[in-house]
């Protein structure tokens, strides 16, 4: 049985807008096993992206604890949290967030510039990541020379280049046609099954969610049902 990698206990998150407190997550408990591929679903405003950002260390809970592989990340200082994130989490977004002036190779290398790796080792790691996503032949192309699906593959290569345990994906196929979306989802499945990445994916798309091992549904900041693929 897989060990629990991600554990949330009593997690609430609220924001203040115009002096009004808005509750986004409400005393949420969640265990995610190592090697899981989890799809988070629910209506807009249900707290999916907020939950994803808490797991990825991009945001802090108002109350409660977020424990990942034995580290209570809500208690880390901002510098230690940034270092933890760089080692442990890869991020994939809907709109790729690639630097248009850089080649695919240079975009993928960006997270490694925060490490102590030599230029030669960075180059080797980038080549491996691009090979994994099937884009070795596009290493020297800039984003404008790539299709949407290829851009997302570059973004996924950037997310895995530092060999993180966890991939957090926010609507990774939301800007793609069905055929291209399915190719990206199959790639995520491969990263999960063959490379052991734990994947948490937010999606509105039921067809995308079917690629995950487990589906969780959020509504008004609470888990309302779970389904296993």
Model pTM score: 0.88
Q: Can you read off the two tokens belonging to residue 140?
A: 């020297």
Split at pLDDT 50, 70, 90, the class of 229 is: very low
Laid out side by side, the sheet with 214-219 consists of 89-92, 166-170, 198-202, 37-41, 214-219, 222-228
Given CA atoms 3, 65, 58, 37 in this order, what sign does their dihedral have? positive
- pLDDT for 47: 83
- pLDDT for 115: 80
Between 148-160 and 178-193, two packed helices, what is the crossing angle to 10 degrees? 20
Q: Can you read off the two tokens belonging to residue 72?
A: 């209570």
The whole-number average pLDDT for the span 197-220 is 91
Number of other residues whose CB lies within 10 A of the CB of residue 140: 10
Please answer whether residues 58 and 105 qualify as being in contact, where contact means their C-beta atoms are separated by less than 8 angstroms.
no
3-state DSSP call for residue 71?
A: strand
Architecture label for domain 4-228:
3-Layer(aba) Sandwich (3.40)
pLDDT tens per residue across span 43-52: 787 888 899 9
Q: What are the beta bridge partners of residue 136?
A: none
3-state DSSP call for residue 216?
A: strand
User: Does residue 224 or residue 66 have the better pLDDT?
Assistant: 66
The whole-number average pLDDT for the span 175-192 is 90
The whole-number average pLDDT for the span 177-197 is 91
- pLDDT for 1: 60
């Amino acid at each position: 049985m897989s060990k629990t990698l991600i554990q949330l206990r009593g997690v609430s998150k609220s924001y203040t807008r115009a002096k009004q407190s808005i509750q986004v997550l409400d005393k949420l408990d969640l265990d995610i096993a190592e090697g899981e591929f989890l799809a988070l679903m629910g209506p807009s405003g249900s707290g999916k992206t907020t939950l994803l950002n808490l797991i990825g260390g991009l945001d802090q809970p108002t109350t409660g604890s977020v424990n990942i592989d034995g580290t209570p990340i809500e208690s880390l200082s901002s510098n230690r949290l940034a270092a933890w994130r760089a080692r442990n989490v890869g991020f994939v977004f809907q709109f790729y967030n690639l630097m248009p002036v850089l080649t695919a190779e240079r975009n993928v290398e960006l997270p490694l510039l925060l490490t102590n790796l030599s230029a030669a080792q960075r180059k080797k790691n980038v080549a491996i990541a691009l090979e994994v996503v099937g884009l070795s032949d596009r290493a020297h192309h800039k984003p404008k020379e790539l299709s949407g699906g290829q851009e997302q593959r570059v973004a996924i290569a950037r997310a895995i280049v530092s060999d993180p345990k966890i991939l957090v994906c926010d609507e990774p196929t939301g800007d793609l046609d069905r055929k291209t979306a399915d190719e990206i989802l199959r790639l995520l499945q491969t990263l999960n099954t063959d490379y052991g990445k734990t994947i948490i994916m937010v999606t509105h798309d039921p067809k995308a969610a079917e690629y995950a091992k487990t589906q969780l549904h959020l509504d008004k900041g609470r888990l309302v049902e779970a389904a296993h693929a």
